[in-house]
């Protein structure tokens, strides 16, 4: 059995710090911005069922696989995959899975930062009281005029990207660990306040039914793929983030408990966000399928009319920015670690170099909302395409290969050693999910999507 390696980038101070950091990576715009709007676009309940099944049966097992590979390798995802292949005497080409993941994370960050910028703008709008007593129309105008201004979006994107670079350049542990301790509980409290407000909107039942009453006639094959892709996106799977954070996990910590805690917290936040938003959508005659603008058009309406709405709105969007930042950091870290290990760059230089490239790539997403709004491929703007290809193709593909590698290629002895347990029921359950459920489900959903089979 190989000796445990040590990370050359530092470690989390405890397993709790890891769980919080990984939860910070998982909980982000995906939960509060994306989950409600894709649920709205894909008809609600049935979509949520597929999403929850994907989290439980594919997401959690793969989270465990990523954490354990990361901790065993203790390097950036490419090198960790390489080392794992070597340890199990498998072909070094398996490191390509590491490349796929790091690239997916890199591409995601380029547009993630742009959307995080929207949240930042909304903090400002809340501070100046722009939502006070505003109606649906006014709120819509605020949103549209933000999107119409490339300068504004660029400014916001620059602020988010430079904060991300600064935090990553300073090393992940200190600022990050501390800020998450403060941020996560506060965000939960604010979400609960919003859910309570939504309960009083008179349309809570409708919202509840929309989320939890599945109507499988509304589910399309592309909806199924989107639910699967989102399960990956929301858990930060197959982007290298979790594998990288696993590389900093103390040796004694339980991988399984960590994975379950992360998935639970992440799902809770998404469901709460849905429960806060849909009742308001129905109460204000808005469209559930409004797309990426959904929360920016619905939540301000709630804030406009609730007691202390201005204060709550400032806090809420500030939380959203923090939630986005803790995810953004986790998206940048794998690339930075890769550059440090491969090119021998200092952390600062690696962060600056990758962050600058991302800043440039982000321009494409910014222009998608204005200058290039009409330039589409397959009916999708640059932003839509990037989001679609990363979340619905690269992540499931990364997950598929990861599952195959972990369950079929790695030595079971090494895995058990890393899970710090014997071959008990939990282990067999994990292995069954990673060996069969994940690869088969991902493959079927893909084949259905490209029309080779018809579910
Ligand atoms: N999981 C994050 C969210 O839901 C996004 C993310 C994806 C972060 C991949 C890191 C890696 O917002």
**pLDDT band for position 66 (50/70/90)?**
very high
DSSP string, 293-351: GHHHHHHHHHHHHSTTHHHHHHHHHHHHHHHHHHHHHHHHHHHHHHHHHHH---HHHHH
Output the DSSP codes for 184-241.
Answer: HHHHHHHHHHHHHHHHTTS-HHHHHHHHHS--GGG--HHHHHHHHHHHHHHTTTTSSH
Q: Ligand 1 center to residue 238 CA distance, Å? A: 10
Residue 1 has pLDDT above 60, yes or no: no
Q: State residue 171's pLDDT score.
A: 75
pLDDT mean over 194-201? 88
26 lines ligand 1 (CB under 6 A): yes
Only one residue has tokens 């859910």, namely 195
The pLDDT score that the predictor gives to residue 174 is 65
Q: What is the pLDDT of residue 194?
A: 87
Please check the confidence at residue 2 and state whether its pLDDT lies above 80.
no
Which atom of ligand 1 is least distant from the CA of 327?
8
Would you state the structure tokens that stand for residue 374, as one six-digit string?
A: 């009409």
Quote the pLDDT of residue 316: 85
The mean predicted confidence, pLDDT, of the chain is 92
Overall average pLDDT of the 263-289 stretch: 91
Provide φ and ψ at 380, rounded to 5°.
-120, 140
Taking a C-beta distance cutoff of 8 angstroms, is the pair 154, 345 a contact?
Answer: no
With a 6 A CB cut-off, is 331 part of the ligand 1 pocket?
yes
Q: Is 64 in the pocket of ligand 1 (CB under 6 A)?
A: no
pLDDT digits (tens, 9 = 90+) for 210-240: 999 999 999 998 899 999 999 999 999 999 9
pLDDT at 255: 94
Residues pairing with 377 in the sheet: 380
272/275 Cα distance (integer angstroms): 5
- Supply the residue whose CA is at minimum distance from atom 9 of ligand 1: 236
35 touches 230 (CB < 8 A): yes
Residue 335 near ligand 1, beta carbon < 6 Å: no
pLDDT of 308: 83
pLDDT in tens, 388-399: 999 999 999 999
Q: Which residue has the higher pLDDT, 287 or 58?
A: 58
Q: Which structure tokens are listed for 5? A: 């390696």
Q: What is the pTM of this model?
A: 0.93
Quote the ligand 1 centre to 27 CA distance (angstroms).
7
Q: What is the pLDDT of residue 261?
A: 96
State percent of the chain over pLDDT 90.
72
Minimum-distance ligand 1 atom for the alpha carbon of 330: 10
């Amino acid at each position: 059995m190989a000796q445990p390696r040590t990370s050359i980038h530092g470690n989390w101070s405890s397993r709790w710090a890891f769980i919080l950091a990984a939860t910070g990576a998982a909980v982000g715009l995906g939960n509060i911005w994306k989950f409600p709007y894709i649920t709205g676009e894909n008809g609600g309940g049935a979509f949520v069922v597929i999403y929850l099944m994907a989290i439980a049966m594919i997401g959690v097992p793969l989270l465990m696989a990523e954490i354990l590979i990361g901790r065993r390798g203790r390097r950036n995802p490419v090198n960790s995959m390489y080392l794992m292949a070597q340890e199990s005497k498998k072909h070094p080409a398996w490191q390509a899975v590491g490349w796929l993941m790091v690239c997916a994370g890199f591409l995601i960050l380029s547009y993630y930062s742009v959307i995080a910028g929207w949240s930042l703008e909304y903090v400002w709008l809340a501070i100046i009281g722009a939502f006070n007593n505003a109606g649906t129309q006014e709120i819509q105008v605020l949103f549209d005029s933000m999107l119409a201004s490339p300068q504004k979006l660029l400014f916001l994107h620059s602020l988010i990207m430079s904060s991300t670079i600064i935090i990553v350049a300073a090393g992940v542990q200190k600022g990050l660990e501390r800020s998450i301790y403060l941020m996560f509980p506060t965000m939960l409290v604010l979400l609960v306040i919003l859910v309570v407000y939504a309960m009083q909107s008179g349309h809570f039942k409708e919202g509840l039914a929309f989320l939890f009453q599945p109507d499988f006639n509304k589910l399309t094959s592309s909806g199924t793929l989107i639910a699967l892709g989102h399960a990956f996106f929301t858990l930060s799977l197959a982007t290298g983030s979790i594998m990288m954070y696993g590389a900093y996990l103390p040796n004694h910590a339980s991988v399984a408990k960590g994975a379950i805690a992360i998935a639970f917290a992440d799902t809770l936040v998404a469901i709460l966000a849905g429960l806060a938003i849909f009742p308001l959508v129905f109460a204000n005659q808005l469209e559930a399928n409004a797309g990426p603008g959904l929360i920016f058009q619905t939540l301000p309406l709630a804030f406009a009319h609730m007691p202390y709405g201005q204060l709550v709105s400032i806090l809420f969007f500030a939380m959203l920015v923090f939630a986005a930042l803790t995810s953004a950091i986790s998206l940048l870290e794998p690339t930075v670690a890769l550059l440090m290990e491969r090119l021998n760059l200092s952390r600062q230089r690696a962060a600056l170099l990758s962050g600058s490239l991302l800043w440039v790539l982000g321009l494409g997403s910014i222009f998608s909302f204005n200058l290039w709004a009409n330039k589409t491929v397959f009916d999708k703007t640059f932003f839509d395409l990037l989001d679609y290809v990363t979340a619905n193709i690269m992540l499931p593909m990364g997950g598929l290969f990861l599952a195959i590698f972990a369950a079929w290629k790695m030595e079971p002895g090494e895995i058990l050693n890393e899970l710090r347990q014997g071959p008990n029921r939990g282990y067999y359950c994990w292995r069954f999910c990673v060996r069969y459920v994940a690869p088969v489900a991902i493959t079927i959903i893909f084949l259905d999507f490209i029309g080779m089979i018809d579910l």
